[in-house]
Amino acid sequence: MQSFIKNTFCLVFVISVTVTGNYVGEIFRRSGIVPYVIRNAPKEQCVVNYTKSGIVVRIGELLRNNDTAEEPVVQFNYRDGRFYTIFLIDPDVPSPEAPVLREYKHWILGNVQGGRSYPLVVYQGPAPPSVSPHRYIVLVYQQPGSLCFDEPRITNQ
Ligand SMILES: *[C@@H]1O[C@H](CO)[C@@H](O)[C@H](O)[C@H]1NC(C)=O
Ligand SMILES: *[C@@H]1O[C@H](CO)[C@@H](O)[C@H](O)[C@H]1NC(C)=O
């Protein structure tokens, strides 16, 4: 059985702010996430805590599938009363060398506020089909307000 590994990157995207020379931005550019996956580098970093396995992700580190099987807690610099959308995407599908199926949505939570959220895509842990590691990117966007979602919910089945 091949044991797969993965990268997890994490960010807070700040709308209308273009940032240069910051640490997260540097990593995102070096990893090709900017400009090929998102156009602008984020200014801040969020904390991704896989509480079940006791792993607090360090940006760019390799993780095992089994340690990321359960959804993490994402902490970020939020403003009271605001709603957020959180994504976990894999832009390296089926492989980083030929990502023709970019991007796979592993997790989308809408209307995140406090401990509440609306799961649009139920968390599906990484299980990359290629031998080379995939980049897994956590994105946090601030919504203009509470949103009414009518898309069918995607389960992890
Ligand atoms: C991660 O979660 C665990 C369990 O809830 C908690 O004890 C720990 O302080 C968290 N780490 C960070 C950096 O938030
Ligand atoms: C994942 O597998 C590794 C290696 O077998 C092990 O050390 C680790 O404890 C496992 N993690 C969980 C959450 O079971």
Q: Per DSSP, which regions of 38-121 are E strands?
A: 47-50, 55-56, 62-64, 73-75, 84-90, 104-113, 116-121
* Tens digit of each residue's pLDDT (9 = 90 or more) over 25-38: 889 999 999 999 99
What distance in Å separates the CA atoms of residue 47 and residue 73, rounded to the nearest whole number? 8
Answer yes or no: CATH 3.90.280.10 is held by domain 5-142: yes
| Ligand 1 atom 4: residue of nearest CA | 51
Domain range annotation of the chain:
5-142
Q: Is 101 in the pocket of ligand 1 (CB under 6 A)?
A: no
Q: Is 64 in the pocket of ligand 2 (CB under 6 A)?
A: yes
Is the pLDDT at 66 greater than 50, yes or no? yes
Q: Please report which confidence band the pLDDT of residue 52 belongs to, taking 50, 70 and 90 as the band edges.
A: very high
Q: Given the CA of residue 69, which atom of ligand 2 is nearest to it?
A: 13
What distance in Å separates the CA atoms of residue 13 and residue 138, rounded to the nearest whole number? 10
Interval between CA 123 and ligand 2 midpoint (Å): 19
